[in-house]
Chain A
Amino acid sequence: DIQMTQSPSSLSASVGDRVTLTCRASQSISRSLNWYQQKPGRAPKVMIYDASSLQSGVPSRFSGSGSGTDFTLTISSLQPEDFATYYCQHTYNTPTTFGGGTKVEIK
């Protein structure tokens, strides 16, 4: 199975900050990488699919990049509603697997 490793596991940031989250795959997955946002007690929500495509309805301050094994999710200007846990997921083969998550907290 492909292992997905996210870093950092948590970070503290202020409203307005630019934030970058990292996800690394244990083998090349081309651009088969999604990012999800999850708030406490809620289901996840897809933000970015296929490494860099913005899901409909997601604010443009979110962007994704990368290919192969290294990927990033960037929030250009952190807003109060963005404080949440973010998970990456590969869709390269079966089984799909998720990273351990990065919790973005208020500084």
Chain B
Amino acid sequence: EVQLLESGGGLVQPGGSLRLSCAASGFTFSSYGMSWVRQAPEKGLEWVTGLSGSGDNAYYADSVKGRFTISRDNSKNTLYLQMNSLRAEDTAVYYCAKETAVVGKPTFDGWGQGTLVTVSS
């Protein structure tokens, strides 16, 4: 059974930084692309960034390009999201999501429970 457990969310001031982690189990982590998807309060879903199984290919939404960095440690079965220069509009629940292929197929068949990031002074 796919299990994804996010951590690292919290309250941060505008301009600050935060690092999210997602611990994966129940599948061969390196064989699948992974993404972060966020959901602002009472809003819809927004894909943020994705990373291939090898970690060689990363993709970003324009809204976070240059501020957020996705990475993974396949030896630790863990996905990361480094978020810098945070803005109020980054406030959301951040979900870690498993893709159905190693690269280029962002169909998400596994999700974490989400971690809340609040950007406010």
Give residues in A with beta carbon < 8 Å to B.
1, 34, 36, 38, 43-46, 49-50, 55, 87, 89, 91, 94-101
Contact with A along B99-121 (1 / 0, CB 8 A): 01000011111011110000000
B62, B108, B112 — most chain A CB neighbours (10 Å): B108
Which DSSP category, helix, strand, loop or mixed, fits chain A's interface? Answer: loop
16 A/B residue pairs, CB under 8 Å, sorted by A: A43-B95, A44-B95, A44-B108, A46-B107, A46-B108, A49-B100, A49-B107, A55-B109, A87-B45, A89-B106, A91-B105, A94-B50, A95-B61, A96-B106, A98-B47, A101-B44
Total A-B pairs in contact (CB under 8 Å)?
A: 49
Complex contacts, B100 vs chain A, CB 8 Å: 49
Give residues in B with beta carbon < 8 Å to A.
44-47, 50, 59, 61-62, 95, 100, 105-109, 111-114
Q: Are B109 and A95 in contact (CB under 8 A)?
A: no
Of the residues A97, A99, A101, contact of B47 by C-beta under 8 Å: A97
Say whether, besides A43-B114, A95-B59, A87 and B109 are in contact (CB < 8 Å): no
Of the residues B46, B106, B113, contact of A43 by C-beta under 8 Å: B113
Q: Complex formed: what's the CA distance from A9 to B44 in Å? A: 11
Complex contacts, B114 vs chain A, CB 8 Å: 43
Of the residues B45, B62, B95, B112, contact of A98 by C-beta under 8 Å: B45
Q: Complex formed: what's the CA distance from A101 to B40 in Å? A: 13
Nearest-neighbor residue (CB-CB) of B105 within chain A: A91
Q: Are B107 and A91 in contact (CB under 8 A)?
A: yes
Complex contacts, B61 vs chain A, CB 8 Å: 95
Q: Are A34 and B107 in contact (CB under 8 A)?
A: yes
Complex contacts, A100 vs chain B, CB 8 Å: 44
Nearest-neighbor residue (CB-CB) of B48 within chain A: A95
A11 to chain B, nearest CB (A): 16
Complex contacts, A46 vs chain B, CB 8 Å: 107-109
